[in-house]
Amino acid sequence: MIFNGPETASATILLAHGAGAPMDSQSMNAAVLALASVGFRVARFEFGYMAARRQGLRKPPPRAETLQPEYFAAIDALAAAGPLIIGGKSMGGRVASMIADEAHSLGRIAGLLCLGYPFHPPGKPTQLRTRHLADLQTPTLIFQGTRDEFGTREEVSGYALSPGIKVVWLEDGDHDLKPRKSISGLSVADHLGTMARRTLEWSGSLAR
């Protein structure tokens, strides 16, 4: 695991990476540093197939469902002393969402944070990955760029999502939450700052 932020933080966030990039990718590094800057303790881990790539074994991403035990194992290994929020970038957030209700019902997590949720594969808007989100009981915060090819604002507005899911839209953001500054006047740092501040505000409403 990689850790950022103060050890004395009031809450810890455990994040998993997306399907194609490791836990220390540029986008993950930037998001984590933004969260750490507002006081969170942030832990990152890699699924086995991604860790194997560091050893030269080029393994494709497995089905998200098969990664659920690895996420539970990461929660066990972290053994956070205080409130824990789980989540991740893209696929990492999706896997976390699949185990969130079980972990929440056991009192092991306080909430779920997704950075660019993959609502559907790019170019395949009918192949939805939302069925379990309709009844999700865990307090959930999703940050999504309005032009994310995995789910735009127009598309997501028509999905049946649990009332406990709050989607924060970042104007002109892509799947990495990055906007086109020439069009929006905003930078990725602007969006990540918003993400971190809104996450801090939201975390204060979670049951301790």
Q: How much is the pTM?
A: 0.94
Band (pLDDT 50/70/90 cuts) for residue 58 is confident
Q: CA Rg, the chain, in Å? A: 16
Average pLDDT value for residue range 134-161? 96
Instruction: Quickly tell me which residue has 């789910």 as its tokens.
Output: 151
pLDDT digits (tens, 9 = 90+) for 112-147: 999 999 999 999 999 999 999 999 999 999 999 999
What are the beta bridge partners of residue 44? 2, 15
Q: For the chain, give every domain's residue range.
A: 2-203
Quote the pLDDT of residue 81: 85
The pLDDT assigned to 207 comes to 60
Rounded CA-CA distance 109/21 in Å is 25
Mean of pLDDT over the chain: 94
pLDDT over threshold 80, residue 96: yes
CA-CA distance, 50 to 33, in Å (whole number)? 21
Q: Report the pLDDT averaged over residues 24-33.
A: 96
CATH domain 2-203 topology: Rossmann fold (3.40.50)
DSSP H helix total and E strand total for the chain: 7, 7
Strand segments, DSSP code E, in 90-133 are: 111-115
- Is residue 208 predicted with pLDDT exceeding 80? no
Q: How many residues comprise the chain?
A: 208
